[in-house]
Amino acid sequence: MQKIVIALVIFSLLFCSLGVGVTQAALPFAIKSESVILMESSSGEILVNKDGDKNLPPASVTKMMVMLLVMEAIETGKIKLNDKIIASPEACRMGGSQIWLEPGEEMTVDELMKAVGIVSANDASVALAEYISGSHEEFVKLMNKRAQELGLKNTNYVNATGLKPDGGSQGNITSAYDQAILAKELLKHPGVLKWTGTWIDSLRGGESFLRNTNNLVRFYEGCDGLKTGFTAEAGYCLVGTAQRNGVRMIAVVMKAPTSNVRNNEISKLFNFGFSQFKAIKLLNSGQILGKTKVMKGESSEVNLVIPQDLLVVLKKEIEGSPEVLINIPPKVRAPLAKGTPVGEVLVKVDGETKVTVNLVTETMVKESGFFRFLFQITKKVFEGFFK
């Protein structure tokens, strides 16, 4: 019995020492911010985690969800970038960072997204919320619904700004890990980077000057987003993303004591991440990878291409060669627009699927008329008969 107890004690000490080792290995340098996450974007692998699940107020980092919902509404055709939005009195009453919208003033979705992405404008954020959902309150419901769909377990929104509610009630709450997941989803809409990655711009024909609240957009090579935040309660927050040599990192810092600490720690996280990964280019954009037969089409077959360069991001110590697998259906049916997804390409490393992308049609294929279709069928019958 005594031997068993001693063995358990030794095992416990060994387990604890291993746990401490893992924790320290995940922190490559001293971190002053209360919560930190570093993620490699393509795989979602977490490289650094300091209290990533801790519940904290996000301040204006809140607006990443606003930007995601706007981009998704654009993608589905619900709204367009050139739609004009009339600012309501409620939107114009927002405090904090703003572009000083006047009640009745018109701005496009594009202009308001520029204001949100560059200067974190609260009035612009609420104007967009009202346009999409009819009211700020309904939009907040949509924010929470989308958070649940993404599995953001520590996130709850009460407004689209990140400001502390009047009366001292509970404001928005989230975690660094949740914001990394949200950032990864937002980056599926790379158009957002044209706003968040802009250092200097303007509105109202040059009358309203805009300078990005994220200084790393100017001072860190490859940084093109995503969102800063600050309140007295939240401290200095930043969800940053940067890309170098085909590798993209997402870094989250929450409740940093100063803006300098926030920026320095994000920069160090990026540096650490880029030191760990490499990107290997496997296929070129537009490369033909096969073809498939087309039923009822003016053309009997169509080439299939990869729509963008195919990269696989791997740890630098991995030496195995990536395996490229191409899946193409034997036939498809017209009509087919140019760029229609047909088939897919998978990249595997050591048996694990690392990347999956669609193959798309190189050209448009119109549906054939009845007589052309009859001719094609007859031709196939005769070809089979005389083989």
CA distance 234 to 162: 10
CA distance 327 to 321: 20
Catalytic residue among 33, 97, 120, 125: 120
**CA distances in angstroms from 343 to 203, 326, 328, 340, 358, listed in the order given:** 44, 8, 5, 10, 6
Catalytic residue among 41, 42, 63, 125: 63
**CA distances in angstroms from 335 to 111, 332, 377, listed in the order given:** 37, 9, 17
Instruction: Check if 169 is active-site.
Output: no
Cis peptide before 335 (omega within 30 of 0): yes
Contact between 65 and 143 under an 8 Å Cβ cutoff? The reply is yes
Question: What letter does residue 147 receive in the DSSP assignment?
Answer: H
On the CB side of 253, CA atoms within 13 Å amount to 28
Catalytic residue among 33, 41, 60, 125: 60
Instruction: Check if 60 is active-site.
Output: yes
Instruction: Check if 120 is active-site.
Output: yes
**For tokens 């196939």, what's the residue?**
380
CA distance 362 to 251: 37
Handedness of CA 203, 204, 208, 209 (dihedral sign): positive
The token duo for 76 is: 């589905």
- The amino acid present at 137, given as its one-letter code, is E
Helix (H, G, I), strand (E, B) or coil at 253: strand
Contact between 353 and 324 under an 8 Å Cβ cutoff? The reply is no
CA distance 201 to 53: 35
Q: Which residues are catalytic?
A: 60, 63, 120
